[in-house]
Amino acid sequence: MTWLVWRQHRKQLFFALAALVVLGAFFVGTGRPMHARYERDGLPACLPRAERALVVLDVASQPDEPDPAPSVPKDVTKPADDTSRPDAAALADARCAQTARAFFNDYQNVVSVGLLLLILPMLAGMFWGAPLVAREIEHGTHRLVWTQGVSRLRWATTKFGLVSLAVLVITAIYAGMLTWWITPAIVTSGQRFDYVFFDIHGIVVFGYALFALALGICAGAVSGRLLTAMATTIVGFVGVRLLVMLAARGRYRPTEQRSLPDLFAGYGQMRNDLHGDWIVASHASAKGTELLTVHPADQFWTFQAIETAIFVALAVPLLAGAVYWVRRRVT
Amino acid sequence: MSGAMVADGLTVRYGRTTALDACSFAIPERTIVALVGPNGAGKSTLLHCATGLVRASDGTITVLGGPAGDPTLPQVGFVAQDAPLYLDFTAAELLTMGARLNRRFDLAFCRERLAGLAIPLDRRVGRLSGGQRAQVALCLALAKRPGLLLLDEPLAALDPLARREFLSALMDAVAAEPMTVIMSSHLVTDLERVCDHVMVLRAGRVSLLGRTDELVETHRMLIGPPQRRRPRIAGVERIVSASRAQRQIQLLVRTSGDVLHPEWDQHDVSLEDVVLAYLAECPVEPLLELEGAGA
């Protein structure tokens, strides 16, 4: 059975590996200059500290010499951690934030290619999942393979299992390359919760790929038609992804409130975009401070885990349904 | 009842259409059965039932003494209609597949057989001729050393020469190792030369099942004057079909003894005549049971 799966799907596997090589070449080609600049700008060294602060000094409004004390009006309260920190450090954070902003601006366009990668997991469903059962039925070869000495249950579980495994391995390679490539852009953007970034890297990619595959397999097993199965995969994948992204993701964890000091009180401070919180809402309070409703940046992996779990939880019954349909299918 | 394939009230429905309607029959072992019927009569459905590809909506079907499907599949060789094969596989790869998916699979037999038929093992099956593909499919089914071999329209796509080669290959195999063969066709003439039993399916029902020699012996064509009512003729068990030709009528009858009636001319019939009569028969007659079907 393993031999048959290998023989039938080796072409798809080679094709996927070739696609990985092409993608890898693209990642290396565009990623190396990006990483070189990232290092040169000193971002790896300064970011870990700079991204913890909620607010940073606005470098443009600072005098060249770090001597801010005389210009600070007495009624402005600085954030707690700012007061405990020497001003030179605050200024370093501000410079770091500015460098990061400049870096991200320069590489925004390269990273927008990442938008294309949003649909990549869907291709696993269309070209690996949908044909798995549908093509056998369209070519009538299910009557050949289901009348050998192997039960349909074993045929289905072996086939689905091995193909899922292959998809997960390919996804792992892909996600590894992609995460390396895009990390500088993510950390300098401070928007790790943005759908461009959240959805294309990390562990959610595994969930999406598995879901797309299961959807394709199940649609093929039920309909027995390749085109129907592929169309169902596209519609189902895009639909469920949008639904989860727009309706569910914001509710994975309760939001938290943050209050920022009044940023417009004549003193050069600004919100630190590097901080990476998912800012759900923002409004000025009566005291003149800015109130933010956020999902904190450190919840990122919790969100990724929940989203992955949702898609795996959707994939499992789809696969079980496909096995059920293969077994009870009337040819 | 025992036999290579036994059905009891076997019914298969696809939605609202009934493909097999309460079929009961027993096909004895070591027979070669021509399963004949028009398109849509349920031939494929019956064969699919025997392999477990289709499940009975009602009634039962047993194969070689066990339930159809996974438990008996290792002893059943099956070639589906149009002999589906993975066209991008070479013949050798198909044999490997057979060997890997079956506990019992005679690889050496297959290689020898295909070599004898001059079918290249290293060529993609998609590039073989239709006749060669049918031979590869047959070979795959035979390599299981099946007790029951089911062939669904094995000759439909073949030219006359390929048909003859296919049938002689089949007969060689049967001679070498006794097994029950059930093969479907919409024409009995295709299979007349090789089969010893005929089963006629009509609109999901078995309208005839019997030994070919007995069927030819026990049926007569009677030609006589027009009748006002259903004629009662001594020695005629039942009238299978009747047709009017000018001032005479022709009856195809099943006899229970010698027909002695001066009004009627008697003629022998061919197997094809009998089968055609049962194919055309009105479905009011009760089903015939298999009679005296010893090997």
Measure the CA–CA gap between B48 and A143, rounded to whole angstroms: 9
Percent of chain B with pLDDT over 90: 61
In A, which residues are within 8 Å of B156 by CB distance?
Answer: none
For residue B281, the model assigns a pLDDT of 64
pTM of the predicted protein model = 0.87
How many Å lie between the alpha carbon of B84 and the closest alpha carbon of chain A? 5
For residue A167, the model assigns a pLDDT of 95
CB of A162 within 8 Å of a chain B CB? The answer is no
Q: By mean pLDDT, which of A62-76, A80-94, A164-178, B211-225 is the weakest?
A: A62-76
Average pLDDT over residues A28-52: 88
B188's tokens: 């009995």
Q: Which residue has the higher pLDDT, B86 or B192?
A: B86
For residue B232, the model assigns a pLDDT of 78
For residue A130, the model assigns a pLDDT of 96
Average pLDDT over residues B88-94: 96
For residue A83, the model assigns a pLDDT of 47
For residue A95, the model assigns a pLDDT of 85
For residue A265, the model assigns a pLDDT of 54
Residue A205: half-sphere exposure toward Cβ, Cα within 13 Å: 27
For residue B284, the model assigns a pLDDT of 37
Chain B residue closest to A143 (CA)? B80
For residue A72, the model assigns a pLDDT of 47
Q: Do A141 and B84 touch (CB under 8 A)?
A: yes
Q: Do A145 and B101 touch (CB under 8 A)?
A: yes
How many Å lie between the alpha carbon of A135 and the closest alpha carbon of chain B? 11
Whether B245 shows a pLDDT value over 90: the answer reads no
CB of A10 within 8 Å of a chain B CB? The answer is no
Q: By mean pLDDT, which of A27-36, A130-139, B16-25, B230-239 is the weakest?
A: B230-239
Q: What band does B283 get if pLDDT is binned at 50, 70 and 90?
A: very low
Q: Are A46 and A92 in contact (CB under 8 A)?
A: yes
Average pLDDT over residues B218-244: 83
In A, which residues are within 8 Å of B98 by CB distance?
Answer: 148
Of B78, B100, B105, the CB nearest to A4: B100
Per-chain mean pLDDT for chain B: 88
* Strand ranges for chain B from DSSP E: 5-14, 17-27, 32-36, 58-63, 66-67, 76-79, 148-151, 180-185, 197-202, 205-211, 219-224, 236-245, 248-255, 265-267
B94's tokens: 């198909």
How many Å lie between the alpha carbon of B73 and the closest alpha carbon of chain A? 6
Q: Are B287 and B24 in contact (CB under 8 A)?
A: yes
Whether A141 shows a pLDDT value over 90: the answer reads yes
SS3 B26: strand
Whether B227 shows a pLDDT value over 90: the answer reads no
Q: Do A149 and B48 touch (CB under 8 A)?
A: no
Q: Do A140 and B84 touch (CB under 8 A)?
A: yes
Average pLDDT over residues B66-87: 93
Closest-CA residue to A315 (of A120, A129, A176, A127): A129
CB of A77 within 8 Å of a chain B CB? The answer is no
Average pLDDT over residues A250-276: 77
Average pLDDT over residues B101-105: 93
For residue A84, the model assigns a pLDDT of 44
For residue A264, the model assigns a pLDDT of 57
**Which of A144, A151, A325 should be substituted to probe chain B, the one whose Cβ sees the most B Cβ atoms within 10 Å?**
A144
For residue B125, the model assigns a pLDDT of 95
For residue A169, the model assigns a pLDDT of 96
Average pLDDT over residues A230-247: 96
SS3 percent helix, strand, coil of chain B, rounded to 5, is 30, 30, 40
Q: What band does A70 get if pLDDT is binned at 50, 70 and 90?
A: very low
Chain B residue closest to A11 (CA)? B88
For residue B238, the model assigns a pLDDT of 85
Percent of chain A with pLDDT over 90: 55
Average pLDDT over residues A210-236: 97
B50's tokens: 């025997």
Chain A residue closest to B88 (CA)? A8
Q: Which residue has the higher pLDDT, A284 or B168?
A: B168
Per-chain mean pLDDT for chain A: 86
SS (H, E, C) chain A: CHHHHHHHHHHHHHHHHHHHHHHHHHHHHHHHHHHHHHHHCCHHHHHHHHCCCCEEECHHHCCCCCCCHHHCCCCCCCCHHHHCCCHHHHHHHHHHHHHHHHHHHHHHHHHHHHHHHHHHHHHHHHHHHHHHHHHHHHHCCHHHHCCCCCCHHHHHHHHHHHHHHHHHHHHHHHHHHHHHHHHHHHHHHCCCCCHHHHCCCCCHHHHHHHHHHHHHHHHHHHHCCHHHHHHHHHHHHHHHHHHHHHHHHHHCCCCEEEEECCCCCCCCEEECHHHCCEEEEEEECCCCCEEEEEECHHHHHHHHHHHHHHHHHHHHHHHHHHHHHHHHCCC
How many Å lie between the alpha carbon of B287 and the closest alpha carbon of chain A? 27
Closest-CA residue to A4 (of B100, B271, B17, B110): B100
Give the tens place of pLDDT for each residue, B153-193: 999 888 888 888 899 989 999 998 889 999 998 888 878 88
SS3 B25: strand
For residue A5, the model assigns a pLDDT of 96
Of A151, A152, A331, the CB nearest to B48: A331
CB of B102 within 8 Å of a chain A CB? The answer is yes
A259's tokens: 């209050």
For residue B282, the model assigns a pLDDT of 54
Q: What is the ipTM of this complex?
A: 0.88
Closest-CA residue to B63 (of B74, B177, A299): B74
For residue A263, the model assigns a pLDDT of 60
Whether A75 shows a pLDDT value over 70: the answer reads no
